[in-house]
């Protein structure tokens, strides 16, 4: 009999790892329930779909796909550098920002270190920390958001990295420029601060932190952004990190040589110039957010005020049941019990008619739950 046991061979951190739980794909629900016309409001994607400019650029790129992509992403880095007044040597490209978030941890953190993040913060931070075998320190949230004072107090001699999501997913909570600036000034230089700004484009320019400028001032600060949300390229996988050039140089050594493909590189270049699409994304999001907020207020449902492209609603102890009933109504939202929010559901902002379909389904579900509890 074989005694082969891969579990014993695996790295300790990986043995206890729970895989990332993605939003349920539309095709999966179609297969499971045999229903069509499903509305997915589960993964904070852009409801506008691909812009026509990106679609055309992708078509043009097809002919070159037998060749490897540009491993250094010259054109995309140049465009990013020009748009945000950066040096190309500060930029690390990634297969989505997830890739660079993992890369920065793999480059700097080992099993001896501690990594700080907030309770209810994006799940990838504990996942990468655990995979490395480092000690994760989850700091209790304040009003569902990052408690920066408590995070500062959690720094020890072993702390190597602090993750901060602004706005945060799945809570949508937001830290002001002043709050982050005060925090940065107090973190020791041997602790890297990862500021994850995946939802930055949904924040008004007046309120958006000057994070890329801060990178000049604080060499231990790195900032990640993505093309998956407001730029509408989630399926292509495109993201980047802005850092001190020496940090980018180290990450460049540890990354996969072709971590962005030819299609995602080209799509991101075009998307970056497509201001009309970006503005429309933000406008659709603001209107949809208002639609959902109005519904919550009319029905006395508490929600966490959100600065992202999603709203996390406290539906109560029946959250799991409501999620299931929404699935049967053809609407996929996101349970967030894994984020220590068992009474909430996270709903991505969709097109007006998609939001309306969610609202109508919720009204019915709530009415039925009230009836059955009588
Ligand atoms: C806070 C935050 N950071 C990073 C990501 C990663 O996105 P991507 O890898 O698509 O860039 C997400 C995705 O949902 C997110 O919510």
In percent, the amount of the chain with pLDDT more than 70 equals 99
pLDDT digits (tens, 9 = 90+) for 316-349: 999 999 999 999 999 999 999 999 999 999 999 9
| Mean pLDDT of the region 129-135 | 96
pLDDT score, position 48: 98
* Shortest-distance atom of ligand 1 to CA 97: 11
CB-based contact 76:93 (threshold 8 Å)? yes
Per-residue burial over 26-45, b = 16 or more CB atoms within 10 Å of its CB, e = otherwise: beebeeeeeeeebbbbbbbb
pLDDT score, position 111: 96
CA of 325 to the centre of ligand 1 (A): 27
Q: What residue spans in the chain does CATH classification 3.90.1150.10 cover? A: 6-49+276-373
CB-based contact 344:313 (threshold 8 Å)? yes
pLDDT digits (tens, 9 = 90+) for 234-271: 999 999 999 999 999 999 999 999 999 999 999 999 99
- Give yes or no for residue 306 CB within 6 A of ligand 1: no
Looking at the domain that runs over 6-49+276-373, which CATH code has it been given? 3.90.1150.10
- pLDDT of residue 20 exceeding 90, the answer is no
- Give yes or no for residue 95 CB within 6 A of ligand 1: no
Architecture of domain 52-273: 3-Layer(aba) Sandwich (3.40)
Rounded distance between C-alpha atoms, residue 235 and residue 237, angstroms: 6
- pLDDT of residue 164 exceeding 70, the answer is yes
Indicate which residue's Cα is closest to atom 16 of ligand 1.
169
pLDDT score, position 372: 79
CB-based contact 128:102 (threshold 8 Å)? yes
Q: What confidence tier does 371 reach under pLDDT thresholds 50, 70, 90?
A: confident
CA of 103 to the centre of ligand 1 (A): 14
pLDDT score, position 155: 98
pLDDT score, position 21: 82
| Mean pLDDT of the region 46-73 | 97
Half-sphere exposure in the Cβ direction for 295 (13 Å, CA):
24
- pLDDT of residue 19 exceeding 90, the answer is no
pLDDT, mean over the chain? 96
3-state SS, residue 67: coil
Greatest Cα pair distance in the chain: 67
pLDDT score, position 121: 97
Q: Where are the beta strands (DSSP E) in 290-333?
A: 303-304, 310-314, 331-332
- pLDDT of residue 191 exceeding 70, the answer is yes
- Give yes or no for residue 44 CB within 6 A of ligand 1: yes
- pLDDT of residue 133 exceeding 70, the answer is yes
CA of 289 to the centre of ligand 1 (A): 19
| Mean pLDDT of the region 192-212 | 97
Q: What confidence tier does 192 reach under pLDDT thresholds 50, 70, 90?
A: very high
- Cα 192 to its chain centre, rounded Å, is 19
- pLDDT of residue 1 exceeding 70, the answer is no
Rounded distance between C-alpha atoms, residue 23 and residue 26, angstroms: 9
Pocket of ligand 1, candidates 22, 44, 226: which has the most ligand atoms within 8 Å of its Cβ, to mutate? Answer: 226
Half-sphere exposure in the Cβ direction for 147 (13 Å, CA):
12
- Give yes or no for residue 325 CB within 6 A of ligand 1: no
Q: What residue spans in the chain does CATH classification 3.40.640.10 cover? A: 52-273
């Amino acid at each position: 009999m074989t005694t082969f046991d891969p579990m014993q061979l695996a790295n300790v951190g990986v043995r206890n790892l729970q895989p990332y739980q993605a939003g349920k794909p539309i095709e999966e629900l179609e297969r499971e329930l045999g229903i069509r016309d499903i509305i997915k409001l589960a993964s904070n994607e852009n409801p506008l779909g691909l812009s026509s400019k990106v679609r055309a650029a992708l078509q043009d790129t097809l002919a070159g796909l037998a060749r490897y992509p540009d491993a250094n992403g010259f054109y995309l880095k140049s465009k990013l550098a020009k748009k945000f007044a950066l040096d190309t040597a500060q930029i690390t490209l990634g297969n989505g920002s997830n890739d660079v978030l993992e890369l920065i941890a793999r480059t700097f953190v080992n099993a001896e270190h501690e990594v700080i993040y907030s309770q209810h913060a994006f799940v990838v931070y504990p996942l990468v920390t655990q995979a490395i075998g480092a000690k994760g320190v989850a700091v209790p949230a304040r009003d569902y958001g990052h408690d920066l004072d408590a995070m500062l107090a959690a720094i020890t001699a072993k702390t190597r990295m602090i993750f901060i999501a602004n706005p945060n997913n799945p809570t949508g909570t937001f830290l002001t420029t002043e709050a982050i600036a005060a925090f940065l000034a107090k973190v020791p230089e041997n602790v890297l601060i990862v500021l994850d700004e995946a939802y930055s484009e949904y924040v008004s320019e007046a309120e958006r932190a000057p994070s890329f400028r801060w990178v000049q001032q604080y060499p231990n600060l790195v900032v990640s952004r993505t093309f998956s949300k407001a730029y509408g390229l989630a399926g292509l996988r495109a993201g980047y990190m802005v850092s001190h050039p020496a940090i980018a140089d180290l990450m460049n050594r540890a990354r996969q040589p072709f971590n962005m493909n030819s299609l995602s590189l080209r799509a991101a270049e075009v998307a970056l110039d497509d201001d009309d699409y970006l503005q429309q994304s933000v406008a659709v999001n603001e209107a949809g957010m208002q639609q959902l907020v109005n519904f919550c207020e009319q029905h006395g449902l508490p929600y966490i005020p959100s600065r992202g492209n999603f709203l996390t609603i406290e539906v109560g102890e029946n959250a799991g049941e409501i999620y299931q009933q929404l699935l049967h109504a053809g609407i996929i939202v996101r349970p967030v019990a894994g984020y220590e929010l068992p009474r909430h559901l996270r709903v991505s902002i969709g097109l007006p008619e998609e939001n309306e379909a969610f609202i109508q389904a919720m009204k019915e579900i709530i009415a039925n739950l009230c009836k059955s509890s009588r």
